[in-house]
Amino acid sequence: MAKKPAKTKSKSTNSNQMWGGRFSERPDAIMEAINASIDYDRKLYAQDIAGSKAHSTMLAAKGIISSSDAKAIHKGLDTISSEIESGSFEFSAALEDIHMNIEARLSALIGPAAGRLHTARSRNDQVALDFRLWVKQQTQLVHAILGNLIDAFLEKAETHAATVMPGFTHLQTAQPVTFGHHAMAYVEMFARDRSRAADAITRMDECPLGAAALAGTGFPIDRKMTAKALGFREPTRNSLDSVSDRDFALEFLSLASISAMHLSRLAEEIVIWSTPQFNFVRLSDRFSTGSSIMPQKKNPDAAELVRAKTGRINGSLIALLTIMKGLPLTYSKDMQEDKEAVFDAAENLELAIAAMTGMVSDMTINSDAMAAAAGSGFSIATDLADWLVRETGLPFREAHHVTGAAVAMAEKQKCGLEDLALADLQSLNPKITKSVFDVLSVQKSVASRKSFGGTAPANVKKQVAYWKKKRAAETGEKSK
């Protein structure tokens, strides 16, 4: 990244550097303003330079340009890279985009050899390459940092495999679960996000360089050579699709939107859980803010902002879908509008994942508050119904009815199901025995849920071990 802001010139004294002899007058200032993308596509400078190096190396290898020209091009590109990273490079809006800014500077540095770089290449395949390479690298980054978030959840799940809490449906207490089991639900969610990223990388791992403007080129280029040099699996197979495809960007935004939605659901739970009314978790000072007027406040602003950023990321997906939906083959200038949305979504998704990883790692679990709430709302009612089916042979629907009557009785007596007298329960069904009380506890309820994928602490520990082994295999570390 640049160490200091690079400069952008708003005007050019050179009227038609890009378009040659076809135009006799320079563009209107408004045309320059709407046409320029350098204020944001400068982010692609590293990918553009890498693509130019690979292209010039291939051109020299095929005898299309001289090796001395290729060496001069590489030296000039290295100088430009250093200038951009130091902040001394002067970007020009009149030169429209990162590609022409770099080419113009290269020409100033090395002279006529720079003009040979664009042989057998168009800005169409050049931008398709730069953008695809950037998105591929960003998708790889998302894949990696989602792994960090999963690791944070695995640590929490292992520590709290037996910590009971209420499980909710409709945000109403449903059945007791463990916090470890709840944490593992997010492991599953974010693991799916990682798999989507991996799938997307496989599809976008094709190099469009060499498609030229839209029809390929008559020069004897070697597209497999450039694809390999740039880290792609293979070149794209159709020149028309190569320059007009933005599916890779749409896939990134799609997986970003799904992942952001998962982050937002988690953020909502953190916001709720950290209220005094719930008091399930306490966020560290590192991921909280205070109030300008109320000194007692500790606000979960990081979680709230993660929740809000989901709207921005979703909006980016809809924006690009709308841009692309009416475009005929191949390239249209509309596609210049593809980058800002992707850049913004990528930046905010990366930030949201990092913030959530920090929050999960740092937050303190209030086990006592969770345990106290776990038995609220007659959360063990299903255990009574299951006992009636198992021990008395009642059909579940009839057992459901008896249990509902028991809940009404306990509500009237202002006590829990486990506090009802045996005689009261027998008044609802005479087959009930005192052994029913063996299942009427939160801990026993949780421990009984041993079906595969259930909340029993033993299950949670097995799932943690499974995922830790899987993560260790991915990272090349030994599972602990």
Catalytic annotation present for 400: no
Please report how the helices 247-273 and 338-362 are oriented relative to each other, as an axis angle in degrees rounded to 10. Answer: 30
Spatial distance between the Cα atoms of 393 and 123, rounded to a whole number of angstroms: 75
User: How many Cβ atoms sit within 10 Å of the Cβ of residue 371?
Assistant: 17
CB 238 within 8 A of CB 203: no
Active-site annotation holder among 24, 170, 292, 451: 170
- Residue whose token pair is 């299903």: 382
Active-site annotation holder among 66, 67, 291, 376: 291
Q: For the purposes of burial, counting CB atoms within 10 Å of the CB of 29, is it exposed (0-12), middle (13-18) or buried (19 or more)?
A: exposed
Please, where are the H alpha helices in 216-366? 223-229, 239-244, 247-273, 301-324, 338-362
Please, where are the H alpha helices in 330-395? 338-362, 367-374, 381-392
Catalytic annotation present for 99: no
Q: Please name every residue paired with 91 in a beta bridge, in sequence order, or none if there are none.
A: 8
Q: Which residues, 6 or more positions from 134, have their beta carbon under 8 angstroms from its beta carbon?
A: 43, 44, 47
Spatial distance between the Cα atoms of 114 and 72, rounded to a whole number of angstroms: 8
Extract the tokens encoding 191. Answer: 């693991």
Q: Which residues, 6 or more positions from 207, have their beta carbon under 8 angstroms from its beta carbon?
A: 129, 132, 223, 226, 227, 230, 232, 234, 235, 236
CB 179 within 8 A of CB 387: no
Residue 299: phi and psi, rounded to 5, are -95, 140
What is the DSSP-derived secondary structure letter of residue 444?
H
Torsion sign across C-alpha atoms 90, 95, 101, 107:
negative
List, by residue number, the catalytic residues: 170, 291
